[in-house]
Amino acid sequence: MRDHFQERFPEFDRLASVFQNAGIESRAIAMPLDWYLQPLGLKERNSAYLEVANRLFIESAQNALNEAKISAADVDIVITISSSGIATPTLEARAFVELGLRPDILRVPVFGLGCAGGVSGLVLGAHLAQANPGSVVLIVAVELCSLWFHQDTLTKANIIASALFADGAAAVVLTKARANDCNIVGFGVQHTWPSTLGIMGWDVNDEGLEVVFDRDIPPFVRRQIAPVMAEFLNRLGLTPDAIKRFAFHPGGTKVLEALEAALKIKTGSLDIERSVLKNHGNMSAPTVLFVLKQLLKNATTGTYLMSALGPGFTAVAIPVTVRN
């Protein structure tokens, strides 16, 4: 990365510290490294998205179904969360024959939620599962952020994004048909701040999608998140003491520090989030589902509040209860 940017971007040495300070030691990317250094347009990038996202969709969905001991033929509703490529027909339509899904499944593709997609998928899944008692809901989040790295876009946002974002997929199975050790409580909540469209998202240009990533996200979180979380708890009928732990989407080390400071959480206590960030990077929507999986390995009985921030600018949260 240094060799690629240094000669053409005088400020790179000053920004290079973001790679050391990102808290990331390893992350997956969809394509071989040389692929990213070619001239690439929307067609080439999106073709890679369709190929790799389809494979990851099938792998993650099958893993979740196997772990839940549920057959793909028993799935009634499929929610696809992805904001990092264009697929029409959407990913679940491309995968349903190979997965063994029924032709009469309800397909619910969701685009544009970005980093808030994982928790938002759980919120939507909870609504659909409770509206259709006995149904099985499969939620699959797939994001290939790296495909939209632009080697000739010499902006701070592009360089910071190249240090932070990664690729990945995760899936969850929801059903009211049987008791589980982890249960969603209620329907979840959302808050969108007015006049914040420019904080996070995509711009579209001739090369494809270009990241919008405001450097002031951590200060914004420090100022704004505490009253929103208090509002969330009130709307959910919960007190702060009722929450054993927050489970956040790890958007970056500075965002995690801002969350701890704003919510008066002991510094460093969001250790699972930091571990996922360290080992996988910020994969956008799937990342918080990695946090949930890690949390469930050692969680004690109680209520946990999952939450994420994403384009809009939006906060979303949903409580889950664990019985161990």
CA-based end-to-end distance of the chain? 45
Give residue 223's Cα distance to chain centre. Answer: 23
Residue 274 DSSP symbol? H
Kindly state the greatest CA–CA separation across the chain.
60
Q: Which of 113, 115, 129, 173 is catalytic?
A: 115
How would you class 25 by CB atoms within 10 Å of its CB: exposed for 0-12, middle for 13-18, buried for 19 or more? exposed
3-state secondary structure 13-34: HHHCHHHHHCCCCCCCCCCCHH
Residue 323, C-beta contacts closer than 8 angstroms, at least 6 positions apart:
181, 182, 183, 301
Closest CA to 115 of 265, 294, 276: 276
Counts of helices then strands in the chain (DSSP H, E): 12, 11
DSSP assignment string, 183-215? EE-S--EEEE-TT-TTSEEEEEETTEEEEEE-T
Pairing of strands 302-310, 243-248: parallel
Question: Is 115 among the residues known to form the active site?
Answer: yes
Q: Which two tokens stand for residue 251?
A: 């958007």
* Residues 9, 65: Cα–Cα separation, whole Å: 47
* Residues 180, 321: Cα–Cα separation, whole Å: 10
Positions marked active-site: 115
